[in-house]
C-alpha cells in the first residue's frame, strides 16, 4: 500500500484476489478462506510486494557479463564493448534477452525498460516468457535518418504487444552520440505519435563538463533546447546533473524521470551519483535500474535498491536519507512512474495489474523482523523471492522458472561466444568521446 508522500504500509495476514490479470481486492486471509479459486498460493511467512521494475537496462548484454572488467568508461566502450557489439546478431540478442529475463524473474523483476538493438527479438522473448517490458530500439546519428526511423517503426509496431505487456519508447542513445537535429526530430515524432523518449543523458560528470566546454550547455540543457523535455522522457543515470540543470528539469513540460543504476557508477569510479535528493525536491521520480550486465554484472534490482539507500546516506552525510521505506517507494511506485506505468503497476491495489512477488522472510538472515522495510531493503536478497507473478500469471513458483529453460539458453549462447567476442576486425559500432 502506498501514498504519494513516499509512505508505504504493510498489512498482516492479508489475501490478494486476482481476476483476469488484475488485482480485484486486497482483503484478509480469513475473508477468502472458503472462496473458490482456480489457483491458490499459500504464502505464510512471506511478504507480497509489487514486482520490481528495472528502469534501465540492455538485457541482451548479459552475454557480455565480465568481458570488460576494471576499465575506465572510455576504454570499456572503445576497446571492448563497442567492438564486440559490431558482431551482434539477432540470435545473440534473442538468447541474451532470454537469459536476462530468467535472471530478472528469479530476482523478482516483473518489468524492465530496455534500450538496445534488434529489439524485435527482445519483444518476442518478452511475449514468450510472460514478463512486462518497456522497449526502445536504440540509435546513433551515425546511422543517418534510418536509425531514427527504425526506432519509430519499432515503437509503433510493438506498442501494446504481448497482450498489452509491451509498451514502447523512442530510444536515441545519448546527446553525445545523437546530434541536436536528430534529437529535435525525435521530440517531434514523440509528440506526434504520443510516445515517450528513453535515453542516456549526463551519465557522468565528465560528460557534463565536456558538453559545457564544447557547446556551452549541459546535456540536460541540450534536451531542453531540442524539445525532448517537452515530451515524456526517461533519463538514464544523470550522475552528471548539475545544480544549473535542476530548474531546467523542474520546468520540463513533459513527465520527466531518472533511472539510477548505482553499481556501475561505483565500478567505473565515477565521482558522483544520481542526485536523488535534489531530484526528489523538484518532484522528479527516480526509478531503480541495473544498466547492462557488461557494466553492472547483474540484473539484480534488489541490490540496486540497497546500494541506492546506502550511497544516498554516504553522499549526503545524512543517515536519515534515504530511509528503507523511501527505498521501497523508489523500487515500486517511483519505478513504475519512471517507465510510464504509474497507474498500472507499482502497488498492490484494486484495479492494478497483478504484478506481484512473494518474498520469503523465514531465513536466518532475515529473522527476527523488527522493521519490515529495513528487513526487505538491508537484509533480504533477491534469492529470497520465491514466486514471481506478472499479469496474474505465475512465472516462477517456489524458485522454479516456468517459462524459460536456462540450461538450454546457456548452452546455445556459449556456442556463439567466439564469434561474438572476436575483435580482430578492428571495427566498433560507435566512438566514445564525451
Ligand atoms: Zn545504459
pLDDT in tens, 102-111: 999 999 999 9
State mean pLDDT over 97-119: 98
pLDDT in tens, 83-96: 999 999 999 999 99
Q: Are strands 393-397 and 286-288 parallel, antiparallel or unpaired?
A: unpaired
State mean pLDDT over 373-391: 98
Match 564469434 to its residue by C-alpha cell: 419
Separation of CA 292 and ligand 1 centre (Å): 6
Spatial separation of the C-alpha atoms in residues 101 and 126, rounded to whole Å: 8
Q: Which of 46, 24, 50 is nearest to 37 (CA)?
A: 24
Report the length, in residues, of the chain: 434
pLDDT of residue 125: 98
Separation of CA 200 and ligand 1 centre (Å): 6
Does residue 356 belong to any structural domain of this protein?
no
Separation of CA 398 and ligand 1 centre (Å): 31
Does residue 192 belong to any structural domain of this protein?
yes
pLDDT in tens, 2-31: 555 666 788 999 999 999 999 999 999 999
Quick check: 234 pLDDT over 50? yes
Separation of CA 401 and ligand 1 centre (Å): 27
Separation of CA 423 and ligand 1 centre (Å): 22
Does residue 117 belong to any structural domain of this protein?
yes
Instruction: Provide φ and ψ at 304, rounded to 5°.
Output: -60, -35
Separation of CA 385 and ligand 1 centre (Å): 26
Spatial separation of the C-alpha atoms in residues 253 and 255, rounded to whole Å: 7
Does residue 426 belong to any structural domain of this protein?
no
pLDDT in tens, 175-224: 999 999 999 999 999 999 999 999 999 999 999 999 999 999 999 999 99
Give Cα 38 to chain centroid, integer Å.
Answer: 32
Query: Mean pLDDT across the chain, nearest whole number?
Result: 96
pLDDT of residue 2: 53
Separation of CA 236 and ligand 1 centre (Å): 6
Q: By the 8 A CB rule, do 258 and 338 touch?
A: yes
Where residue 185 sits, what CATH number does that domain have?
3.20.20.140
Does residue 381 belong to any structural domain of this protein?
no
Separation of CA 275 and ligand 1 centre (Å): 17
Domain residues for the domain of 69 are 50-338
Separation of CA 174 and ligand 1 centre (Å): 9
Separation of CA 337 and ligand 1 centre (Å): 19
Separation of CA 365 and ligand 1 centre (Å): 32
Separation of CA 56 and ligand 1 centre (Å): 6
State mean pLDDT over 223-234: 98
Separation of CA 58 and ligand 1 centre (Å): 6
The total of structural domains in the chain comes to 1
Strand partners of residue 166: 133
Give Rg (Cα) of the chain.
21
Separation of CA 403 and ligand 1 centre (Å): 26
pLDDT band at 1 (very low <50, low <70, confident <90, very high): very low
pLDDT in tens, 153-181: 999 999 999 999 999 999 999 999 999 99
Quick check: 432 pLDDT over 90? no
Separation of CA 350 and ligand 1 centre (Å): 34
Separation of CA 126 and ligand 1 centre (Å): 19
Quick check: 230 pLDDT over 60? yes
Sign of the torsion formed by the C-alpha atoms of 53, 334, 382 and 12: negative
Does residue 55 belong to any structural domain of this protein?
yes
Separation of CA 81 and ligand 1 centre (Å): 12
Separation of CA 291 and ligand 1 centre (Å): 5
Does residue 34 belong to any structural domain of this protein?
no
DSSP 302-366: HHHHHHHHHHHHHHHT-TTSS-HHHHHHIIIIIHHHHTT-TTTSSS--TTSB--EEEEE--SGGG
% of residues, the chain, pLDDT over 90 = 96
Q: Which of 253, 247, 215 is nearest to 233 (CA)?
A: 253
Separation of CA 238 and ligand 1 centre (Å): 11
Does residue 303 belong to any structural domain of this protein?
yes
| Cis before 148 (ω within 30) | no
Give Cα 19 to chain centroid, integer Å.
Answer: 27
Amino acid at each position: 500500500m502506498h501514498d504519494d508522500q513516499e509512505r508505504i504500509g504493510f498489512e498482516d495476514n492479508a489475501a490478494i484476489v486476482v481476476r483476469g490479470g488484475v488485482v480485484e481486492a486486497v482483503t484478509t486471509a480469513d475473508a477468502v478462506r472458503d472462496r473458490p479459486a482456480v489457483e491458490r498460493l499459500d504464502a505464510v511467512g512471506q511478504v507480497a510486494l509489487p514486482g520490481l521494475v528495472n528502469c534501465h537496462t540492455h538485457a541482451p548484454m548479459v552475454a557480455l557479463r565480465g568481458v570488460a572488467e576494471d576499465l575506465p568508461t572510455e576504454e570499456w566502450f572503445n576497446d571492448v564493448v563497442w567492438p564486440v557489439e559490431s558482431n551482434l546478431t539477432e540470435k545473440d540478442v534473442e538468447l541474451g534477452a532470454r537469459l536476462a529475463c530468467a535472471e530478472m524473474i528469479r530476482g523478482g523483476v516483473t518489468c524492465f525498460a530496455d534500450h538496445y538493438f534488434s529489439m524485435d527479438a527482445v519483444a518476442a522473448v518478452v511475449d514468450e516468457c510472460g514478463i512486462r517490458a518497456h522497449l526502445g530500439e536504440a540509435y546513433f546519428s551515425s546511422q543517418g535518418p534510418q536509425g531514427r526511423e527504425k526506432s519509430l517503426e519499432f515503437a509503433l509496431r510493438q506498442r501494446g504487444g504481448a497482450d498489452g505487456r509491451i509498451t514502447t519508447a523512442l530510444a536515441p542513445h545519448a546527446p553525445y552520440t545523437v546530434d541536436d537535429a536528430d534529437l529535435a526530430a525525435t521530440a517531434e515524432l514523440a509528440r506526434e505519435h504520443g510516445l515517450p523518449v528513453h535515453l542516456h543523458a549526463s551519465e557522468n560528470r565528465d560528460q557534463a563538463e565536456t558538453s559545457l566546454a564544447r557547446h556551452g550547455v549541459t546535456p540536460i540543457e541540450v534536451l531542453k533546447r531540442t524539445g525532448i523535455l517537452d515530451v515524456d522522457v526517461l533519463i538514464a543515470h544523470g550522475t552528471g546533473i548539475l545544480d544549473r540543470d535542476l530548474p531546467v528539469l523542474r520546468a520540463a513540460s513533459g513527465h520527466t524521470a531518472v533511472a539510477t543504476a548505482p553499481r556501475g557508477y561505483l565500478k567505473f569510479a565515477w565521482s558522483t551519483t544520481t542526485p536523488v535528493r535534489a531530484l526528489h525536491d523538484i518532484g522528479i521520480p527516480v526509478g531503480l535500474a541495473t544498466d547492462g550486465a557488461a557494466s553492472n554484472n547483474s540484473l539484480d534490482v534488489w541490490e540496486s535498491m540497497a546500494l541506492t539507500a546506502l550511497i544516498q546516506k554516504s553522499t549526503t552525510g545524512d543517515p536519515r536519507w534515504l530511509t528503507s521505506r523511501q527505498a521501497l517507494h523508489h523500487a515500486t511506485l517511483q519505478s513504475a512512474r519512471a517507465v510510464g506505468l504509474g497507474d498500472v503497476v507499482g502497488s498492490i491495489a484494486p484495479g492494478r495489474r497483478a504484478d506481484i512477488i512473494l518474498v520469503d522472510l523465514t531465513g536466518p538472515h532475515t529473522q527476527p523482523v523488527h522493521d519490515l522495510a529495513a528487513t526487505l531493503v538491508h537484509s533480504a536478497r533477491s534469492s529470497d523471492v520465491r514466486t514471481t507473478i506478472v499479469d496474474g500469471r505465475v512465472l516462477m513458483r517456489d524458485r522454479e522458472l516456468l517459462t524459460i529453460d536456462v540450461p538450454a539458453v546457456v548452452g546455445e549462447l556459449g556456442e556463439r561466444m567466439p564469434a561474438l567476442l572476436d575483435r580482430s576486425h578492428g571495427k566498433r559500432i560507435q566512438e566514445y568521446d564525451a
